[in-house]
């Protein structure tokens, strides 16, 4: 038996992930190592509390200035909010990675 690869999300996104409203996350290069098809064990960033497993569907490089409404929709937020959020989490980072995922039961 192998350990699942961990990933954390801010706990305020837990409900959106569990309802299927949020189906991508945008990360910097330090979290671009996930492999298509691999199962990730998802915990909250704040308390390191497990809340689901997800399967990686794709990992795609995307520039900050190329983010679109399509990304925002898959984040279940407005594009304006998404951009301000990313600037808070990853100040000055232009090269992002879109990780598309599927919630596992």
Ligand X SMILES: CC(=O)Nc1ccn([C@@H]2O[C@H](CO)[C@@H](O)[C@H]2O)c(=O)n1
Which residue(s) pair with 62 in the sheet? 96
46 given a catalytic annotation? no
Query: Binding to ligand X by residue 101, rule CB under 6 A?
Result: no
One of 13, 34, 97, 101 touching ligand X (CB under 6 A)? 13
Determine the distance from the C-alpha atom of residue 48 to the mean position of all C-alpha atoms in its chain, rounded to a whole number.
16
69 given a catalytic annotation? no
In this complex, which beta carbon is closest to ligand X, that of residue 38 or of residue 87?
87
DSSP states of the chain = --PPEEEEE-GGGHHHHHHTS--EEEE-GGG----TT-EEEEEETTT--EEEEEEEEEEEEEEGGG--HHHHHHHTS-HHHHHHHHHHHSTT--EEEEEEEEEE-
Query: Among 75, 80, 95, 98, which one carries the catalytic annotation?
Result: 75
CB of residue 45 vs ligand X: minimum separation in angstroms?
5
Query: Binding to ligand X by residue 86, rule CB under 6 A?
Result: yes
Query: Binding to ligand X by residue 9, rule CB under 6 A?
Result: yes
Which stretches of the chain bind ligand X, using CB under 6 A? 8-10, 13, 25-26, 45, 75, 85-86, 89
Annotated catalytic sites, by residue?
22, 25, 75
């Amino acid at each position: 038996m192998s350990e699942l690869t961990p990933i954390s999300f801010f706990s305020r996104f837990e409900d959106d992930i569990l309802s299927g409203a949020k189906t991508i996350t945008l990360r910097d290069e330090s979290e671009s190592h996930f492999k298509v098809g691999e199962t990730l064990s998802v915990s909250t960033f704040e308390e390191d509390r497990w809340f689901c497993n997800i399967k990686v569907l794709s990992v795609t490089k995307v520039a900050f200035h190329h983010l679109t409404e399509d990304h925002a929709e898959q984040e279940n937020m407005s594009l304006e909010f998404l951009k301000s959020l990313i600037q808070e989490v990853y100040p000055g980072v232009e090269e992002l990675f879109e990780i598309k995922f599927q919630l596992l039961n």
